[in-house]
Homo-oligomer: A and B are copies of this chain.
Amino acid sequence: MKKRIFIPGPVELAAEVLAAQAQPMMGHRTPDFNAILEECWDGLRYVYQTKNDVAIITGSGTAAMDAAVSSVISAGDEVVCIGGGKFGERFPKIVSAFGGKPIDVPVEWGKAVDPSEVESAVAGSSAVAITMTHNETSTGVLHDAKAIARIARENNMLFIMDAVTSVGGEDVKTDEWGVDICITGSQKCLAAPPGLGFAAVNNRAWDVIENNSGKRGFYLDLASYRKSLKKSTTPFTPAVSLIYGLRAALSIIRDEGLENRINRHRLLAEATREAVLAMNLELFADPDYASNTVTAIKIPAGLTDDDVRGRLNSDFGILLAGGQESVKGRIFRIGHMAAVDAVDLLGLLSALEIVLAKAGHDFTRGAGVTAAQSRLADL
């Protein structure tokens, strides 16, 4: 059975990206390899909409989140951490792991953060930074990055944003908004293989990092990455084959054009949401803040995770993501990011209708698919 993955990363990769990884190894301290890294930096600055440095870290997106926090804080430092999902709530854990004091701004899962609550948390604190997950993969919510960046700037704090599932699929105006450290990962909207984390860092953040005598870390100290960047290299042996894959993936993005790519993601997301509603399913995320890269859907009453995800997997070889932590077994999630196109999505939605019908879910068969068709083909 042909396997298809619609999880919010790792995503399916274009054949060119897969094949790029199989190129022979080369010395990682050679002008030829430095030139490949330079191509990657150019492409990364393009998707990040930044003119600043982008650290390329061999590690997952979490490695880049760790690098951002640990390079910026010292033990005892307060950090305002916006919650609302598994990844937003990972930041306070990282802050604590480095001896910092997280000030949580709790957000109900599925809802977007209210900026005024962040302002209140900031007002009563001496925090050095605010952290937020831009696109919360665990809930399908896109938070208002611009508003939070403004609050950070006005209060002389750094804004560390996890944009792991937004950069390359959503409009992320790193420089214009003033995101001081903007993190992403290779295996999401960039459609590159997993194993690389990125951090776009502006001068405001570099000043803090380079003057932070109390920071803890070696492999993930961003200062080392900056030193190496100036010599067109990385501080430690990079994952050469993943860099080959990244270069190929970034070249595909350049060919599509970032604006087209963001519009494609938006259209797929709208089609997904409309189809889901037409299937008599409920969306988990607040529709005003719905993500364009991942959609979370409530498992309808009477059905189980196994009825939906289990059957899609066993009958059609399709892998969707389940709910995590507090919503485990209550939602399922469709990643419609990276290289997913209209035909992929229509196939998936049709298969979803079959398993829902078989499980006895009450809906008009065909309604989901036709809703998506209407949106995708402007019918």
- Tell me which of A27, A62, A66 has the highest count of chain B C-beta atoms within 10 A of its own C-beta: A27
Which residues of chain B are within 8 angstroms of A62 by Cβ–Cβ distance?
A: 218-219, 236-237
Which residues of B are found within 8 Å of A319, using beta-carbon distances?
26-27, 30
Chain B residues lying within 8 Å of A70, measured Cβ to Cβ, are 216-218
Task: Find out whether the CB atom of B238 lies under 8 angstroms from the CB atom of A194.
Answer: yes
Provided the pairs A30-B319, A195-B195 are in contact, do residues A241 and B240 lie with their beta carbons within 8 angstroms? no
Q: How many copies does the complex hold?
A: 2
Distance (Å) between the CB of A63 and the closest chain B CB?
5
A299 at the interface (CB under 8 A from B): no
Those of A213-259 within 8 Å (CB) of chain B: 216-221, 236-242, 245
Name which residue of chain B comes closest to A214, CB basis: B99
Instruction: Decide: A193 near B26, CB < 8 A? Known: A58-B58, A59-B219.
Output: no
Q: Which residues of B contact A194 (CB under 8 A)?
A: 25, 28, 58, 237-241
Check A13/B25 contact, CB under 8 A, given A239-B193, A241-B242: yes
Interface assignment of A355: CB less than 8 Å from any CB of chain B = no
A217 to chain B, nearest CB (A): 6
Q: Does A103 sit within 8 A of B, measured CB to CB?
A: no
Nearest 3 pairs of A and B residues by beta carbon: A195-B239, A66-B219, A60-B236
